Structure 1
Amino acid sequence: MDLKLQIKVLPSKPGVYQYYDKDDVILYVGKAKNLKKRVSSYFTKNHEYGKTRVLVKKIARIEHIVVNTETDALLLENNLIKKYQPRYNVMLKDDKTYPWICIKKERFPRVFLTRNVIKDGSEYFGPYTSVRTAKALLDLIKELYLLRSCNYDLSEKNIENEKYKVCLDYHIGNCKGACEGLQNIEDYNNDIVAIRNIIKGNFKEAIKSFHNLMMNYAKEMEFEEAQKIKEKIDLLANYQAKSTVVNPAISNVDVFSITSDESYSYINFFKISNGSIIQSHTSEIKKKLNETDKELLELSIVEIRQRFNSQSKEIFVPFKVDLGEDIKVTVPKLGDKKRIVDLSLRNAKYFRQEKFKQMKIVDPDRHVKRIMSQMKKDLRLSEEPRHIECFDNSNIQGTHPVAACVVFKDGKPSKKDYRHFNIKTVEGPDDFASMEEVVFRRYKRLQDEDLPLPQLIVIDGGKGQLSSSLKSLDVLGLRNKIAIIGIAKRLEEIYYPDDPVPLYLDKKSESLKIIQFLRNEAHRFGITHHRNKRSKSALVTELEQIPGIGKQTIVSLLKYFKSAKRVSEAKFEDIEKVVGKSRAVKVFDYYHHKTNSKK
């Protein structure tokens, strides 16, 4: 059937669509509130993102499944993506098998850690992304309650027939001996109820129960037993204190947040129960079709809730998402709820930073590509700025005007390409004219020598310096070939040609940090040159003050002694060897007289 005809007959209902290529290989699975509108948009829009254009060209056949609600569409989309793993769909890859705490379905249930979930009616809590957290919780439970660790079948019949004998655990006080009927089932099951509450994050009931027991022991004057119970209360309170307490009123809620760059998104998940964060997990997703944060967060929420077996009826998110009628979506604006969403976002950002640090070591090419791609987006450039040049003027109190050009390649300094400029055509301190001169000289030379031009020029200064630089680029015919920006010092505002309104980048953004690094490096390099020039000038000037000494004599002296200071400290005989007796007398007397007059 013709594609246009297939689209025309699509229903305006919620559902899931599947794209297939000419070889009947599934390319993409998507969900929609309105199938006809959503699918049509792929074929009527001009897609800026290259991969989306490629996908549309490959579509040969469309299939769809109509469902009753958006929730059904979300779940079906998630299941089909996991089943078929289409090339153009993002997938939350996670090959880890996380541990669960299992309360086994049996008489006198065992409580243990497992990575295998068996559908036999047993209760599983988790999964726990941190094995250490799961083990700490299990250790706490074992400290508080005496549970059996054996795997015997403790049926009434087996216990009555005295099939089993107590083991070492009983003798060292870690078990009450249920296998020999020394502990009744009701007492054991009460402990299991308390354990279930603790695993869910509800410590209140357990602490209350232990407190009552402690008071009863105290009344009966059994102070040793009361002390044991007090220690258990302290254990529980200490563990609860280590949990990130949010607000006791916030209970049974899932929190999600997302942070993204050009190629990847990072989604953080918190599970909150009884005012404490009892689970935290962050996932990394590689973008396939330039998906929005909203699309990725919706997909992730469904996947993560399935993976962590979450039944929460409410979620907190940083912005509105469509998850159907069954889940209450809250976008907090202030207070404790807002703070917990901010904390989730902070965790996602920390995870992203850690990934960047790892990537820098393990995969430097991907790290460079990501930074360049981000700079292209942040600075609104037409191509990645792999080669950047930055200019800075230095003239202190109007003397010895110089300029510096520093070069960055792939976001790093390329020091062999740094250049100094002595200002030749400008009289006095004139930053604008000096900038115009050095920009012209730099790019005239690159053109003459047929050397590669940068993708971006950064001018240290505001609109004035930027305008002066543009004059030179216009003369050279490079205005439309190289992007150019100016960075003003006061508020770090970035100026563009012919745009009076500056751009303000996020103070923490990597793009701004690279531009600041460039600007600071240009300033450092320029000041160093300026200082050296002033220093040399000061030394030469002092030799020029000696009456009867010409330029050639000064050159001979500096060539031999290397500095004016050494000339001033030299013996008469040494100076005489270089410039002869008559000039040596003048030089020696000048410095000797100067020294004596100071005394």
Structure 2
Amino acid sequence: MPDDTPSVPEIDPQREALLIQVKNLPDLPGVYRYIGADGSVLYVGKAISLKKRVGSYFIKNDHSPRIRLMLAQVASLETTVVRSEAEALVLENNLIKALSPRYNILFRDDKSYPYLVLTGHASPRLAYYRGALDKRHTYFGPFPNGYVVKESIQLLQKVFQLRTCEDSVFSNRSRACLLHQIKRCSAPCINAISPEDYRSDVNNAMLFLSGKENEVLQQLETRMQTLSANWEFEAAAAVRDQIQALAKVQEKQFVSSNSSDGDADILACVEEGGVLCVNLAMVRGGRHVGDKNLFPSHADEYTPSEALHAFIAQHYLERTVPPLIFCSPEPENASILMASLSEQTGRRVIINSNPNGERRIWLEMAAKNAQLAILQRKTQQASQAGRLAALVEALGLPDETQRIECFDISHTMGELTVASCVVYDNQDMQPKQYRRFNIATTTSPGKGDAGFEPITPGDDYAAMRQVLTRRYEKLAAGEGSADSKVPDVILIDGGKGQLGVALEVMEEIGLNEPWIIGVAKGETRKAGLEQLIIPRLGKTIQLKRDHIGLHLIQQIRDESHRFAITGHRARRAKARIASTLEDIEGIGPKRRQKLLARFGGLQGVKAASVDDLAAVEGINEALAEKIYAALRG
């Protein structure tokens, strides 16, 4: 007789334990983390009440496809209780930046922004700066790009003639440098200007950077009149030149400081066709100093308001925050963001999504720039997609081909060999995933990989074998880094010899999935005549010069070549600093180190006089003359 007892569905013990943990969560603010079966963090979130927020994920049934997919992968849960929602916001975004969870919207804006700095020395230095801020110095910025800062330094040199040299050079000058001769520095190093006058120029520069140009002009005019009245006509003429230079600078788009009445950031988030873009424009001292566009990762199903909240929370974490932030649209939980940023800065920060007058025009401009950036990105992606599709069809590659990695070797007659690996993925070059490999040779061992013997100088085959092994050995064993993936195609910049080495390496390490393609220059070595060697098909293909698939190959190959050559040149320049002094008889490692430390590098040593060189411990006058002659010969 059949058993009609209804079957009881099996309960997953892991899922049951997770639900019990959720049920026992506290009714307190905090941060929660969903963990996958492999231990990776899937999602980081914050909550006023951990119990209610996390519980809602497992009670509701109307989640979006993205959330349903995430919940199906959750194996465990971790939580951290904090004192307030503002504190939870900071912790949440610290974790997002550190862990890069696959289901969080993520703005990869991790480069430090540049500042213009006036140091706190007795004779302050004007300089370009990136990094952590030091309270001893005065900073102006941050600015959206380095070009603005460098241009500003040049303009300020013309007006105020502040020093820009390193302290090691400044402290060891016995005569003025070229900048003083071309009237770009007042030479406080040799007391060509009195400390009081130099400090006056520094103060005027600070006022100007703070947007108080008229006040600076008034002070300079008063000073010029006083000097003229005292018959100090030469000094008065110098001040007159400053006024004229300042008037010219005023006509240009210029940077300013973080003064409370003139600094603001303008943020506009726009969504078009499933693409989200945030335009960040910076206003300093009432002047627009530039902008940049940011496209978040994992932004599917996020609204502009949610994306703007995430951007503000992530972007200003451990960064300078202006007193005013104008937003369009209003970010989600704007009051919490304001409380968090105000607590971080120790002063009031206002987020305004409904400004008037000129500020509304700023927002409209930012929104328009975001729209244009989306259009440009789509146009570029369409072009790249067409190139990739044409290449796949022409070479018979798998339809799912996306990731291409390309390798190149660069050296000078076998010395200081550098190999490069560049990555093309998601229809664009991925600079953050590029890698350089220094290859040790028998004549310049350097810091080669401990597992590899130095190669013979100029042996490109051995260099290619080493770089491919170092790149893919761990990946083939399943031990690659987070951004390392098995590529669909590996391009080898070289002929059949390098290609043969690549095939041997892939076979040795057991990585057979990628297509290996050699890019060999034609007989005349002209662009457009490249031959593509495809061992998997057993043939060599030469695409037409106007084939868009060939253009993609050329783009990736040229980027690999550029990346290798810049790495090699940097390594060569570093080696030459030491080798130039090594060639001088009587200069050993200790004396070389003392010289470089005293003058701040080879350029400082070259600029030093014989007397300056002789003042270094261990350098007598005869040796100083020998060094001077060798470096200037």
| TM bucket normalised to smaller | 0.5 to 0.7
Change in 2 beyond 3 A, CA 1:135/1:31? same
Partner of 2:220: 210
User: 1:217·1:226 contact (CA, 8 Å) conserved in 2?
Assistant: no
**How far apart are the structure 2 equivalents of 1:164 and 1:18?**
61
Supply the distance in 1 between the matched residues of 2:121 and 2:291 (Cα, whole angstroms): 30
1:278 and 2:293 matched = no
Equivalence map 1:30-109=2 (5 Å): 30-47=45-62, 49-94=64-109, 98-109=113-124
1:257-313 deviations in whole A, cap 9, x for unaligned? 100135431111223333222342221113345122222111101222247x33323
Contact 1:137 1:199 in 2 (8 A): no
8 Å contact kept, 1:264–1:286: no
Q: With CA pairs under 8 Å and 6+ residues apart, which has the higher RCO, 1 or 2?
A: 2
1:218 Cα deviation from its structure 2 partner: 5.8
1:7 partnered with 2:18: no
Q: TM-score, normalised by structure 2?
A: 0.50
Taking the aligned partners of 1:279 and 1:71, their CA distance within structure 2 comes to 30
Paired residue for 2:622? Answer: none
Which residue number corresponds to residue 332 of structure 1? 354
Following the alignment from structure 2 to structure 1, what is the Cα–Cα distance between the partners of residues 384 and 136?
45
1:253 maps to 264
Paired residue secondary structure (1:342): helix
How far apart are 1:64 and its partner, in Å? 1.8
- The AA in structure 1 aligned to 2:162 is L
Which residue in the other structure is 1:265 paired with? Answer: 276
**Ranges in structure 2 where 5+ consecutive residues have no aligned partner:** 1-15, 343-348, 390-633
- Candidates 164, 189, 205, aligned match of 1:195: 205
Aligned pairs (5 A) from 1:515-534: none
8 Å Cα contact 2:41/2:101 also seen in 1: yes
CA distance in 1, matches of 2:116, 2:358: 30
Instruction: Give 3-state SS (helix, strand or coil) of 1:209's partner.
Output: helix
Please tell me whether the aligned partners of residues 255 and 285 of structure 2 are also in contact (alpha carbons under 8 angstroms).
Answer: no
Question: What is the alpha-carbon distance in structure 1 between the residues aligned to residue 107 and residue 174 of structure 2?
Answer: 48
Describe the shift of the 1:262–1:126 C-alpha distance in structure 2 as closer, same or farther (beyond 3 A).
Answer: same
Residues 217 and 243, structure 2, Cα contact 8 Å, conserved in 1: no
| TM-score, normalised by the number of residues in structure 1 | 0.53
AA aligned opposite 2:373: F
The answer to whether the Cα contact below 8 Å between 1:13 and 1:66 also exists between their aligned partners in 2 is yes
Q: Number of residue pairs matched?
A: 357
Distance 1:18 1:104 in 2: 43
- How do 1:491-570 residues align onto structure 2 when only pairs under 5 Å count? none
- Structure 1, unaligned runs of 5 or more: 368-599
2:246 counterpart residue number: 233
Residue 144 of structure 1: CA displacement?
A: 0.8
| Change in CA separation of 1:106 and 1:334 when aligned onto 2, cut-off 3 Å | closer
8 Å Cα contact 1:70/1:324 also seen in 2: no
Deviations 1:125-175 (A, max 9, x none): 4443333322221111111112223334599xx79xxx7333333344333
In structure 2, C-alpha distance between the alignment counterparts of 1:151 and 1:333, rounded to whole Å? 44
| Distance of 2:134 and 2:69 partners within structure 1 | 43
- Aligned partner of 1:24 in structure 2 is 39
Q: 1:313 to 1:126 in 2, by over 3 A?
A: closer
1:350 maps to 2:372: yes
SS of the aligned residue for 2:375 comes to: helix
CA distance, structure 2, for counterparts of residue 99 and residue 314 of structure 1: 20
Equivalent residues of 1:146, 1:174 under 8 A apart: yes
Secondary structure of 1:60's aligned partner: strand
Does structure 2 retain, via aligned residues, the 8 Å contact 1:214–1:229?
A: no
State the one-letter code of the partner of 1:266. Answer: C
Distance 1:122 1:364, change over 3 A: farther
Closer, same or farther in 2 for the Cα pair 1:66/1:364, shift >3 Å? farther
Counterpart contact for 1:107–1:154, Cα < 8 Å:
no
The share of aligned pairs that are identical, in percent, is 25
Q: Does 1:134 align with 2:156?
A: no
| Closer, same or farther: CA 198–16 of 1 in aligned 2, 3 Å | farther
Give CA-to-partner distance per residue, 1:371-422, whole Å, 9 cap, x none. xxxxxxxxxxxxxxxxxxxxxxxxxxxxxxxxxxxxxxxxxxxxxxxxxxxx
**In terms of Rg, which structure is larger?**
1
Q: Considering only aligned residues, what root-mean-square deviation do their CA atoms show, in Å?
A: 3.4
Report the counterpart of residue 359 of structure 1 in structure 2: 381
1:287 aligns to 2:302 (yes or no): no
In the alignment, residue 380 of structure 2 is paired with which amino acid?
Q
